Each structure stands twice: as C-alpha cells, then as structure tokens.
Amino acid sequence: EVQVVESGGGLVQPGRSLRLSCIGSGFAFDDYAMHWVRQVPGKGLEWVAGLGWDGRHIGYADSVEGRFTVSRDNGKNSLSLQMNSLRAEDTALYYCAKDTTVGRYGEGFDMWGQGTMVTVSS
C-alpha cells in the first residue's frame, strides 16, 4: 500500500523548536519530490516546503523561510521538517505530501498523510 505517515507534532511554546518526520512506503521514495503542507483549522491549505528527489529543488514559503528546514534521507524513506523559532501562527495540521511525477518537481500532490498537529502556545 502506498502511504506516507507523519509524526512529531505536539504542543510547544513560542520560540521553541520541533521536528516533524514523514515515512513513505509502497513506492520508490527516492524517485519523488516530497512536500510539507499545513492547514490551520477552519482555513485553507498552505504549502510550507518542498524538496526534490535529489535535493536539487528546495523551496520554502515566505512565512517560514529562515526558520524551517526541510531534509530527506532516501535510505530511510524519510522526510523531515525542522521548525525553529515557532510562532503562534505556525499552529496547524502539518501534512506530508508526495509529488505526482517521477523525477519531476511541482506538478502536484497525489499522496497525503493523515497529518500531525502542531500547537504553538504558552
């Protein structure tokens, strides 16, 4: 079964750090770009960060640039999001999403996890 599973969410104080992880299975993880997308409860989806299969493509939303770092370990089929200097406005459900096309970047997302909730509050 093709799936991605996120973990690492939780309650964290403003200014602190948190690291999210995503494990992919059922597909050739190292052939696909992977992304993080978040959703504030009751609001729309916001793309957060993306990383190409080979690391050549790496991008961040303006709202997280300089605070968040995306990385991957293809040997472990894993994608990570290191979130530093967290703010209240980072509170959201964070999804890991697989790009649609082998060896390409940015064509769309065809597999999403269930999400991991991050709450930034004192």
Partner 1 sequence: QSALTQPASVSGSPGQSVTISCTGTSSDIGTYNLVSWYQYHPGNAPKVLIYGGTKRPSGVSDRFTTSKSGNTAYLTISGLQSEDEGDYLCCSYGGRSTMIFGGGTKLTVL
Single out the residue of 67, 71, 104, 119 in contact with partner 1 (rule: CB under 8 A): 104
Q: How many residues bind partner 1 (CB under 8 A)?
A: 28
Rg of the Cα trace of the chain? 13
3-class secondary structure, 109: strand
Q: In a 10 Å sphere around its CB, with 0-12 CB exposed, 13-18 middle and 19+ buried, how is residue 38 labelled?
A: buried
- According to the binding rule CB under 8 A, does residue 57 interact with partner 1? yes
- According to the binding rule CB under 8 A, does residue 89 interact with partner 1? no
- According to the binding rule CB under 8 A, does residue 44 interact with partner 1? yes
Long-range contacts of 42-46 (CB under 8 A, 24+ apart): 46/92
- According to the binding rule CB under 8 A, does residue 106 interact with partner 1? yes
List interacting residues with partner 1 (CB under 8 A). 35, 37, 44-47, 50, 52, 57-62, 95, 100-101, 104-114
